[in-house]
Every structure is written in structure tokens, then in C-alpha cells.
Chains A and B, each alone.
Chain A
Amino acid sequence: MKFGRLTLVICAVLMCSTIAQAHEGGGITGGFVSGFVHPILGWDHVAAMVAVGLWGAFLGNPAIWVLPVVFPLVMAFGGALGVMGIPIPSIETGIAVSAIVLGAMVAFAVRPPLWIAAVMVGIFAIFHGHAHGTELPSAANPLAYSAGFVISTGMLHLSGIAFGLLVRWPAGKVAVRTCGVIISLAGVGFLTGLL
């Protein structure tokens, strides 16, 4: 009989509300981690981001730092469009094309004026930002999520720049251009659905 009462009490306690904490840590960590891994887990994002870094390193000063500064800002604009629900047609196609075009720029060692390079990278940044932005409203902590994916994107640029700095040596130049070819081919794979 006593055991029955005890069971009732336990069941009642189990149904009671849990702690309400403002600014609890789990949402922040979860939001940051999910934002951080979002660009890394998408091969199409990785390829395009690394290509931006490679191209920046290939173009030299001041492109090496202009492109990584411009990209997150324009990406935020694209992300804001995604958050506001303003549709951009063929987002996935745009991301795949960004890998093809940016990879080709590196592969063929194309050196356009800085403003053309910045505009090209900026246009592709809108597609990438829009893709991230549409995920933002469902994030555990939107600010932590956006900080995570912006930092992650920046890290991918930096890894591209680090690899791209090999262009100082003749063999390195070949390696970087080969990487551009691989990124471009991967872009074709994303576009056709083979990857």
C-alpha cells in the first residue's frame, strides 16, 4: 500500500515542470557547434570556400585579404535574405557553379582586376549565405549558430589561403592549380548530382 503511494508521488513529481533558465549554456554550445559544422559538412561549401582562399593567395596583395573580408559581409546579406524568406532561385545550382567558376579561376591562373574578383566572389557569397540563412530560424541559438558558421567559413578561407601561399614556389604553383582543377571538377559533380 505504501509502495503504491510512493509510486503515485514519483509519477506526480516526474510530471512537474523543470528548471527555467535564461541564457542556459546548452543552446549556445549546440547552436555554435551546429553552425560551425554546417559549412564543413557540405562538400560544396568546403570546395567553394577553399577556392576563395586559393584564389586570394594566387592574386596576391591586396586580394589575399580583401576577399576574406568581403565574403562574410556579403554572405551576411545573402543570409539576411534567407532569414527574411526572400527566395533566390537555384541556390544549390549557384553553389555548385561557384565551385566550378572559382576552381577554374585558380586552375587557369586568371588574374582579373580586384573589383571584378570581389564582385564575382560577392555574388557567390549571396548563394552560400542564403543557404545558411534559411537554417538560422530553426537554430537552438541563432546568434551562436551564425557566429559558428561565419567563423567556420573564415577558417575554410584561411586554409585555402595557407595552401595557396605555396604559389611562391614553382612546384607549389602546380599543386595549387591542380587543386583548382579538382575543385572545378567537384563542382561539376555537385551540379550533375554525381557527388
Chain B
Amino acid sequence: MRSLIAIPMFLVVSSMAPRLALAHVPFAGLNDLYNGLLHPVVVPAHLLLLAAAGLLLGKQGSRAVPPSFLLFCLFTLTGLVATTFFAGGIGERYLLGVAAVIGLLIAANLRIPFILCFILAALTGFLLGFDSTQTVLVGDAKFFSLLGSGLGLCFLFLYPLAFADYFSDRNWQKIGVRIVGSWVAASAILVLALSLQPPSG
């Protein structure tokens, strides 16, 4: 009889006990690789910049897409490696600033030179990789988490890239991409304004 009360009580108490503070590990119960893979999905600034860069580069035509993607992957890896030397990340403000500029470029329907496409792909990859820093994890856990973040960023980048490249034939498709670009710019500008505010009180 006692055990019938004691066991549920023990389970309740143990479930309420404090656990490890997990920075950048959003989902408990998942392994480090998968948590890293999901990291860009739960950081809105990463998603916004990925969408903006992917849409802009995707709408430049099929010739620009493969080298842009390769550069993005390469510089994401560089950014991830850099996190092992410089902890702290890049900060949401810079990610949003780049996203706002890219969003405006999409909305303005500018055709940008290839060299600028490649610079943007490299810059975006590096910023996102560098901002996926893991300050709490060490050793294998950190390695697998960063590997997962890199894979997640590269996979996610493919979606807007392919979307903008595929929907680039008809006029309404191009307009749709421009409207999404204006949404990205608007969201980024608003939060940028908020982050530039001095702390109240």
C-alpha cells in the first residue's frame, strides 16, 4: 500500500526537480544531432535570413543557384568552426539588418550581379553558422550539435532557393516572391527598431 503512494509521489517529485540549463537546446529528449538540426527552425531570426537570402538568390536564375548554394554551405561550415574559437554568436541585430536589406532588394525586384550573389551567399552562411554557437555543450555533444545545425541550415536554405527558382516564369509568381520579400523586410525592420531601443527603466 505504501509503495502504491510512494512510487507516484517519487515520480511527481522527480519530474519537478530542476534540470540542466540548456542554452540553444530546445527539445528535451532528442539527441544532440537532431537538436542541432532543429535549431534554425526555432530561431526566427535564422529563418527570416534564410528565407530572404534563399529567395533573392533563387530569383537570380538557375546559373546563380548551384554556386550560391555551395558557397553558403562552405561558409556555414566556416562560421560553425569559428564558434569554437569565438563564443557568443553574432547577435540577432546583425542578422535582422542583413535580412532587411535583402528583403528590400527582393521587393525592389533588382537583378544583382553574380559576384554580389556569391558575396551574399557567403555572408549569410557565415553569419548563420557563427550564430549557431553552443556555449553549454562540450566534446562530442557540441560537435554533433554543431554538425546538426550546419545540416539544418543547409537543408532549410534549399527550400526558399528552390521555391524562388521554380516560381520565376510567370509574372504572378515573381510578384508573389516580391510580396514575401516585403514581408521579410517589414518584419526585420520592426524588430530591428525594437532592438535599437535603449532598455527602459
Contacts and interface: CB of A to CB of B under 8 A. Distances in A.
Interface of A: 6, 9-10, 13-14, 16-25, 28, 65, 68-70, 72-73, 75-77, 79-80, 83-84, 133, 136-137, 141-144, 146-147, 150-151, 154
Nearest to A14: B16
Contacts of A6: 9
Contact of B193 (A16, A65, A69, A80): A80
Interface of B: 9, 12-13, 16-28, 39, 42-45, 48, 92, 96, 104, 107, 175, 178-179, 182-183, 185-187, 189-194, 197
Contacts of A24: 26, 42
A19 B18 contact: yes
Contacts of B178: 65, 69
Contact of A150 (B22, B186, B193): B186
A21 B190 contact: no
29 contacts: A6-B9, A10-B13, A17-B18, A19-B22, A20-B22, A20-B23, A21-B22, A23-B24, A23-B39, A25-B26, A72-B186, A73-B104, A76-B185, A76-B187, A79-B189, A79-B190, A83-B194, A133-B193, A136-B191, A142-B191, A143-B96, A144-B44, A146-B186, A146-B187, A147-B183, A147-B187, A150-B187, A151-B183, A154-B183
Contact of B21 (A13, A20, A133): A20
A146 B190 CA distance: 7
The 10 closest A-B pairs by CB, nearest first: A80-B193, A76-B186, A72-B186, A20-B21, A143-B44, A65-B175, A76-B189, A146-B190, A22-B23, A147-B187
A84 B197 CA distance: 7
A80 B191 CA distance: 8
Given A16-B17, A28-B44, A22 B182 contact: no
A143 B100 CA distance: 12
Contacts of B190: 76, 79-80, 83, 133, 136, 142, 146, 150
A121 to B, nearest CB: 13
Given A23-B43, A24-B42, A136-B194, 17 more contacts: A14-B16, A18-B18, A19-B20, A23-B26, A25-B26, A25-B42, A28-B42, A68-B182, A69-B178, A73-B182, A73-B185, A76-B185, A80-B190, A136-B190, A142-B194, A146-B187, A147-B48
